[in-house]
Structure 1
Amino acid sequence: MKILIAEDNFTDRLILKKIVEASGHEVLEADNGVTAMEVFVSQSPDLVFLDAIMPEMDGYQAAEKIKALTTNHYVPIIFITSLTEQADLVRCMEVGGDDFFTKPFNKVFLEAKLRAFERTNNLYRTIEKQRDEIQFHTDHMLQEQEVAKRIFDKIAHTGELHQPYIRYTASPMSIFNGDILLVARRPFGGVHVFLGDFTGHGLPAAIGAMPTSDIFFGMTLKGFALVEIIQELNRRLHAVLPTGFFCCALAAHIDFEEHNIQVWNAGLPEAYLMNRASGEFIELPSSHLPLGIVGNENLNVSFSIYSFQEDDRLFAYTDGVTEAENSEGEMFGQERLLEALKRGINDDDAFGCLLRDVDEFQTEPEQGDDITYIEVHYSTDYKGPEDEQNLTGELSSGPSDSRFSLELGPNSLRNFNPLPVLSQPLMEIGHLQMFRTQVLTILTELYSNALEHGVLKLKSSLKSSAEGFAEYYRLRQLRLEELEEGFVKVDVKHSPSDNGGRLEIQVSDSGEGFDYKKALKKAESKGYSGRGFPLLYRLADSVEFENNGATIKVVFSWSTGK
């Protein structure tokens, strides 16, 4: 060891020096406190012998300064003193001394103390080295997590959460968030909402969010129905998540034009439909298994359907909200959550009221779980498909002068959604991607009309209320399951022009047709509002009916304006 001896008496310093050097240690010398501090700063000794009484700066003052300089590492201080009063010896310990040695020196005793402090010193150096290694690896891990987080955020982006009809908060417990909140606008109108809570916290919980986000946004953009998206999410998570890991989730499809909402709750706390005008609260409890627990053959994807009008709000949250704790360990709880929502709904600020209550309640800086909640309100400013245009469409070498057909029989109609397949070649045509929403809306309306009204013989009048919507989709599913005959045929032709093209879509079904002239007059009397045929007339250049309405041909001309 390198040992500093600070002693103003030359004889005592020399004797102590010889004993220390004989024990195999290097000696540094100082004859007063000021010199001792200069040597300590310049030479960084491993142990200090310090006389209590010295000129210029006594040992007590020097000990305090040495301890202030060694907060991050251990340097023992042994006081050398001829003092015998208990108060003086106690003061040696109080100012930072680790031991004391009285004069005259006992060589055997002193050598034993040196060996003991050498062992202690070696132990502390080992601990400090391990501490530094741990800190290095911790800093490296945090740096990697920050990089991974930036990549993760770009992959698992939040989509349409910036829309004015959405309010949300997401407060992760750590760098990575086990909660996932996604909103995507459907190309056919309306939005998909997904709120998920993966088992656990941090990076292991967040891993599942990456395929979830990719599937949700990719399938929504391609026109898949929410039920198909949930099935694919469950299939993927069931395949990749380890046993014991799963995702509690709430998924909703909100159609602002049809004034309805479809909700599927699988393991999250009950969500709420709130009406600002009446103050009514409708509970949306969990009634399904979380994603990833069972295979699709045992997965129930049945939606609850409700009316969604101008004063309505959807509120959903993860259990981190109700499990937030105060300094006494008391949870925020369901009762406080409901009280905050009801107090704020009349002022149209249920979300803000709850946000303030949770912040005030959760006084501890460390939270025990990820906290996420969202409020979606009915929007009169929501843009319909005729108002939307994707200006980021890129030119591709797709089938610009092309024609294709697809005919579906009973089995395919029961089990297959053709819209993503039909849309794929269309979206490869030049800049037609700029008009994705309009084109896919036309396809959806034509196919839905052919399947639901032509083949399944369902009546639109059922969809005049939320209860009617539920009955409509119940009959739709029932008749699909019982379907033994019938077909839907889709013919698509595209002809290019200098700066755009002409798209012809013809859809035929095996039904008996309908009185389309009467339907058109009825639509005209309402000023072509809503979906169905009025929407087709707004989007397309022309709509033609043949075969008593069992065949509909639509022409959509497009131009980039360049």
Structure 2
Amino acid sequence: MSDQCNTDGSLNLVFKPVSRRLALVVDDEPINCVIMQSILEKMGFETAIAHDGYEAIEAFELLAPDFVFMDVIMPHMDGREAARCIKSMTSGRFTPIVFLTALDDPEEVHACIEAGGDDYLSKPVDPRLLRTRIYSLERIRSLYQKLSRQHDELLFKIAEEQENEALANRVFLHAVSAHNEPISGLDSYSRPASCFSGDLVLSCRLGQGGIRVMLGDFTGHGLAAAIGALPTSELFHAMTRQGRSIPELLTELNHKLCRILPDDRFMAAVLIDIDPVKGEFCYWSGGMPPFVYKSKDQLIYHSSSGLPLGILENYDFVSEVGSGRLTDIERILLMSDGLLDVRNQEGATFSSCGFKDLMDSWASNDGFFSALDERLDQHCQNRLPDDDVTLVSIDLEKALAVLNVSSDQSADLSPEPEGWEWALASGGGYLLDHSEVITALTDTKYLQDWPAEQAERLQTLFGELYNNAIEHGLFGLDSSLKSTPDGFHLYYEKRQALFDDPPPGQIRIQMTFLPRQQGGCLRLVVQDPGKGYDLTRLSELEQHDDPSRFWGRGMQLVRSLADNLIIHPPGNRVEAELRW
């Protein structure tokens, strides 16, 4: 683009092919434009001319120049305002803006730099000084372009890693968790540091009505931390079903992990066997925080005595296996070290701030996982944990009530269903869609014996509440956008874009099942990090129902499915009950 004079002396924008280096000169004085144009062309630049801020913005958008030389005081829109607009249009590239001013006031220079200027020159412009400034800014631009390329490559690698972790997570849910047997009185909690947890919870039935539970914690977190999950799960289940002892299982696991894990990787673990026939429990712990059991209103902490698995090839596990009487304990709690090491914004660990109160809650058996979730939220203050957090709670009273069924009982008497509690956090690096959450739940076999009608009712209810938590609580989307066909399409375009790159925050899901002699009651809690339902607007929509409106009708479906529904202010925590 170059300039042509009209008969009245004004200049028009005229476009011509752009070379490798293009400079945009912005000045309301034609003579100043001619002088700068002459100097820059001698330096090898193509030039484009604009006379005020509006023309500068238009020319920048059309031509994407390499440099902008901007006068400060101009009619219609001054140089500072134009610089602000131009900087907002650069789309990640570095285009230097050099202000040209006859003012020597330091405050004026400061205002120009704050508006987006990268340098300034005093009028009249000294060609030698101009050349020096251009060379300096070109070095900066070259460095910026290099950093920008590296940034793009890093984003690609991160996206690729997240995709791999998401795939591995699906494999993990299906190939590892699906083999776990549902154990009455056994509940687990997980808050991974990334989309894929390096902690491993395994459960299996022993012969003569016993159960075996293991919590493993691989080095680090994420996909790299779980490379041993599949072989560990396969070996655990195979040897447990063969009736192999704790030392035999540990020996084989240790041998396997020593062979497949790199030298800097290992698995800390705690293993519990419960034998109702002998009336005792056996345990082994290597490299884990103390596991806890409640005995006669006291909490007993049992420290780890062994080495983690995968460090020493030849290791004697027999002498490290301990035992205790089942009559002496009510509950057992296993935990990974991620819980104790969770830090808040000030760097204080959870072990020094909220752990004692949490254990008091576990001792009283009063909504333990709900209390855990709330205390971690308060402690973390939206900060993701540095390591995976996993806990396993075993209620011996519930477990033994099922395990101690005598063999001479009538075979056609089905045992009463047992209660359970299940919790999951979605977000913070990887956001599950509702089908993945349902898959995670059904793979635990909690819903295996449910009536099909009730399982379908739960999935529909959960899908509505969870999608609302994602779209309105986490993403902040407005349903009224769906009031037109174009808006409907735009709404789901925005939803997909946000799902691919979710904002910070996690959605908490908790399900608690309470059995009845006939049927049961399931309590579902979904909590999002935003505002959730707009309670005022929701009330208005329900009072003035419009059959032609195809948005904002999800709550009608929720109320028709739930037997009881509570929406806690400001609308981001919903509790629903299903009874049958």
TM-score by length of 2: 0.61
- Supply the AA of the counterpart residue of 1:321: L
Distance 1:133 1:160 in 2: 40
Matching of residues 287-298 of structure 1 within 5 Å: 287-296=305-314, 298=316
- Supply the AA of the counterpart residue of 1:149: N
Deviations 1:129-153 (A, max 9, x none): 2222222222222222222332233
| Counterpart in the other structure of 2:102 | 82
Distance 1:37 1:68 in 2: 11
Tell me: CA distance 1:62–1:385, structure 2 relative to 1, closer, same or farther (3 Å).
farther
Distance 1:216 1:157 in 2: 12
Shift of 1:59: 1.1
Residue 68 (str. 1) matches residue 88 (str. 2): yes
Residue 8 (str. 1) matches residue 49 (str. 2): no
Which of 373, 379, 395 does residue 361 from structure 1 map onto?
A: 379
Q: Check the 8 A contact 1:288/1:300 in 2, yes or no.
A: no
Distance 2:118 2:352 in 1: 55
Tell me: CA distance 1:281–1:100, structure 2 relative to 1, closer, same or farther (3 Å).
closer
Percent sequence identity over aligned pairs? 31
| Counterpart in the other structure of 1:442 | none
Distance 2:239 2:383 in 1: 39
| Counterpart in the other structure of 2:571 | none
Shift of 1:344: 4.3
SS at match of 1:116: helix
Which of 105, 118, 137 does residue 157 from structure 2 map onto?
A: 137
Shift of 1:351: 5.4
| Counterpart in the other structure of 2:343 | 325
Shift of 1:52: 1.2
Distance 2:257 2:174 in 1: 20
| Counterpart in the other structure of 2:326 | 308
Residue 284 (str. 1) matches residue 302 (str. 2): yes
Residue 47 (str. 1) matches residue 67 (str. 2): yes
Tell me: CA distance 1:158–1:330, structure 2 relative to 1, closer, same or farther (3 Å).
farther
- Supply the AA of the counterpart residue of 1:327: Q
Name whichever of 153-162 and 139-148 sits farther off. Answer: 153-162
Q: Check the 8 A contact 1:158/1:183 in 2, yes or no.
A: no
SS at match of 1:321: helix
Q: Check the 8 A contact 1:189/1:385 in 2, yes or no.
A: no
- Supply the AA of the counterpart residue of 2:310: G
Distance 2:240 2:362 in 1: 33
| Counterpart in the other structure of 1:206 | 226
Tell me: CA distance 1:82–1:328, structure 2 relative to 1, closer, same or farther (3 Å).
closer
SS at match of 2:98: strand
Shift of 1:258: 5.1
Distance 2:149 2:375 in 1: 46
Tell me: CA distance 1:279–1:93, structure 2 relative to 1, closer, same or farther (3 Å).
same
Distance 2:47 2:136 in 1: 18
Q: Check the 8 A contact 1:46/1:121 in 2, yes or no.
A: no
Q: Check the 8 A contact 2:37/2:47 in 1, yes or no.
A: yes
Matching of residues 376-415 of structure 1 within 5 Å: 376-378=394-396, 379=398, 382=402
Matching of residues 157-168 of structure 1 within 5 Å: 157=177, 159-160=179-180, 163-168=183-188
RMSD: 2.9
Q: How many residues align?
A: 387
Distance 2:297 2:77 in 1: 77
Q: Check the 8 A contact 1:272/1:314 in 2, yes or no.
A: yes
Tell me: CA distance 1:67–1:191, structure 2 relative to 1, closer, same or farther (3 Å).
same
Which of 11, 14, 17 does residue 37 from structure 2 map onto?
A: 17
Which of 239, 244, 248 does residue 224 from structure 1 map onto?
A: 244
Distance 1:96 1:388 in 2: 81
Matching of residues 184-195 of structure 1 within 5 Å: 184-186=204-206, 188-195=208-215
Matching of residues 115-130 of structure 1 within 5 Å: 115-130=135-150
Shift of 1:29: 1.5
Q: Check the 8 A contact 2:189/2:369 in 1, yes or no.
A: no
- Supply the AA of the counterpart residue of 1:101: L
Distance 1:308 1:147 in 2: 41
SS at match of 1:88: helix
- Supply the AA of the counterpart residue of 1:136: F
SS at match of 1:326: coil
| Counterpart in the other structure of 1:246 | 266
SS at match of 2:137: helix
Distance 2:30 2:375 in 1: 72
- Supply the AA of the counterpart residue of 1:281: L
Name whichever of 32-41 and 292-301 sits farther off. Answer: 292-301
Distance 2:74 2:412 in 1: 87
Distance 1:100 1:353 in 2: 59
Which of 359, 368, 375 does residue 393 from structure 2 map onto?
A: 375
- Supply the AA of the counterpart residue of 2:339: V
TM-score by length of 1: 0.63
| Counterpart in the other structure of 1:148 | 168
| Counterpart in the other structure of 1:110 | 130
Distance 2:231 2:96 in 1: 56
Q: Check the 8 A contact 2:68/2:95 in 1, yes or no.
A: yes
Deviations 1:462-495 (A, max 9, x none): xxxxxxxxxxxxxxxxxxxxxxxxxxxxxxxxxx
Name whichever of 19-28 and 97-106 sits farther off. Answer: 97-106
Tell me: CA distance 1:344–1:131, structure 2 relative to 1, closer, same or farther (3 Å).
closer
Q: Check the 8 A contact 2:344/2:383 in 1, yes or no.
A: no
Distance 1:233 1:263 in 2: 16
Residue 264 (str. 1) matches residue 284 (str. 2): yes
Shift of 1:365: 0.7
Q: Check the 8 A contact 1:341/1:353 in 2, yes or no.
A: no
Shift of 1:328: 2.5
Which of 361, 364, 383 does residue 346 from structure 1 map onto?
A: 364
Tell me: CA distance 1:132–1:188, structure 2 relative to 1, closer, same or farther (3 Å).
same
SS at match of 2:209: coil
